[in-house]
């Protein structure tokens, strides 16, 4: 199924033009134009626009014919990009290496196990309310598991605007050849003030492939059962 969102194309084009113009002008406002801040700015813009989907060349033709409307849309998008860039620079990701250099290009594709995104939820075992402030660590063989990139943290601290939910996206694991079936054993170490710590173990089967997935997809997730933390001594009292 080939469905395309043309809004993404327009936003990428307008944003790239703005980034280039800022650099040509000597960046008088001192914006950080690293890859991460650029991506965050583009995401901010896209999240505030309606998508425009097409499935054929006729859809493109209709869009191209309405030139005046497109000019106004691009002007509105430019306004959003500038607003997003200012906000992103004010609240820069603390985990990102803010430099102006793009990541090096990937070398030839090699066989690897592509581990899916791991998602779970954490609740108070007495009130059944979702928890915030808990720290969840994903480990394998006693060591912290490396993540796909610095946008995915390990350990992960649950925050108030997404209470109870934690996510991990492990980096691919190198393999000697393709089509190897292997089961990976992981453990979660969960700590939260005023609660007993919890360790939960689980397994994920995977098959090595030459090409690994490079973008996040909701269809490729490994969902863990809901987990519960109890105040000290409360678990024993409840059996």
Q: What is the pLDDT of residues 85-119, one digit of tens each?
A: 999 998 888 777 776 554 555 567 789 999 999 99
Query: What are the E-state strand segments in 17-94?
Result: 53-54
Domain topology for 112-237: Immunoglobulin-like (2.60.40)
Q: What angle do CA 140, 171, 193 make, to 5 degrees?
A: 55
Helix (H) or strand (E) holding 186: strand 181-191
| 129 closest CA partner among 121, 119, 139, 117 | 121
184 DSSP β-pair partners: 204
Q: What is the pLDDT of residues 5-22, one digit of tens each?
A: 888 889 999 999 999 999
| 221 closest CA partner among 208, 204, 207, 201 | 204
In the chain, % of residues over pLDDT 70: 83
Q: What is the pLDDT of residues 160-198, one digit of tens each?
A: 877 899 999 999 999 999 999 999 999 999 999 999 999
The full set of domain ranges for the chain reads 4-90, 112-237
| 10 closest CA partner among 73, 82, 65 | 73
Q: At what angle do helices 67-90 and 57-65 cross, to 10 degrees?
A: 90
| The pLDDT value given to residue 65 | 47
Q: How many angstroms separate the CA atoms of 38 and 66, rounded? A: 29
């Amino acid at each position: 199924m080939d469905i395309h969102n043309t809004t993404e194309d327009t936003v990428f084009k307008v944003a790239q033009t703005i980034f280039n113009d800022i650099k040509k002008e000597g960046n008088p406002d001192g914006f950080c134009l690293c890859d991460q801040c650029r991506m965050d700015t583009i995401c901010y813009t896209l999240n505030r626009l309606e998508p425009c989907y097409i499935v054929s060349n006729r859809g493109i033709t209709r869009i191209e014919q309405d030139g005046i409307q497109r000019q106004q849309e691009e002007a509105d998008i430019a306004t959003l990009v500038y607003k997003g860039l200012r906000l992103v620079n004010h609240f820069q990701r603390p985990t990102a290496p803010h430099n102006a250099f793009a990541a090096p290009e990937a070398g030839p594709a090699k066989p690897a196990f592509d581990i899916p995104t791991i998602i779970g939820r954490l609740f108070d075992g007495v009130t059944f309310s979702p928890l915030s402030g808990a720290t969840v660590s994903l480990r394998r063989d006693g060591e912290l598991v490396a993540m796909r990139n610095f946008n995915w943290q390990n350990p992960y601290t649950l925050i108030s605007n997404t209470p109870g939910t934690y996510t991990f996206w492990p980096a691919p694991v190198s393999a000697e050849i393709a089509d190897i079936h292997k089961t990976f054993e992981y453990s979660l170490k969960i700590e939260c003030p005023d609660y007993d710590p919890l360790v939960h173990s689980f397994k994920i089967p995977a098959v090595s492939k030459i090409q690994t997935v490079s973008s996040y997809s909701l269809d490729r997730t490994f969902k863990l059962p809901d987990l519960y933390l109890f105040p000290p001594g409360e678990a024993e009292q409840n059996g």
